[in-house]
Amino acid sequence: MTDELAAEINAKGMDPLLIPNLKGYADTLKAANVTQGSAKKNRPKISEASIIALNEIYNSVISICEICRNIFKSDPVKSDMYSFTKTVEALGNNNGGNNEGGDQNQTPSTPPPVQ
C-alpha cells in the first residue's frame, strides 16, 4: 500500500494502527492460500474402481437397512437404528451440528451415490 493511499484511508476516518494489522493478515492469508493449493494438488484422486466399490457398498448397506426397518417396524427405536437419515442426524449432533459441505438444517433421506 502506498503512503498516499494510506493517507487517503486515514483521512476518511480509519484508525492508522489498523493498516499494519491488515497487511499482516494479508501475508498470513496468502501463505495459507499457498498451503491449501499444495494440499489440493497432493491429495489422492478417487479412482473409477473405488467409486464403483463405494457405490456398491452404499447400495448394500441401504438394502440391509430397509430389510431391518421392515423387521423392526413395530419397534420404532430399533427401526430408527437402521434409518440412514436418523444416523446422519445423530452424527451431525455429535460433531456440533457441523455437517461438512451441506446445510446444517437439511439431512437428505438418502444421499446420492459417489460420482
- What local confidence, expressed as pLDDT, does residue 72 receive? 93
Confidence at residue 25, expressed as pLDDT on a 0 to 100 scale: 87
> What pLDDT, on a 0 to 100 scale, did the predictor assign at position 109?
47
Rounded Cα distance between 90 and 77, Å, is 13
- Cα torsion through 45, 49, 51, 54, rounded to 10: -120
pLDDT at 107 over 80: no
pLDDT per position as a tens digit, 49-100: 999 999 999 999 999 999 999 999 999 999 888 988 888 888 886 544 444 4
Give the confidence band of 114 by pLDDT, cuts at 50, 70, 90: low
Q: Using CA of residue 35, residue 50, residue 89, residue 87, what is the dihedral sign? A: negative
pTM: 0.43
9-63 pLDDT, tens digit per residue, is 889 988 888 888 888 888 889 999 999 988 888 888 888 999 999 999 999 999 9
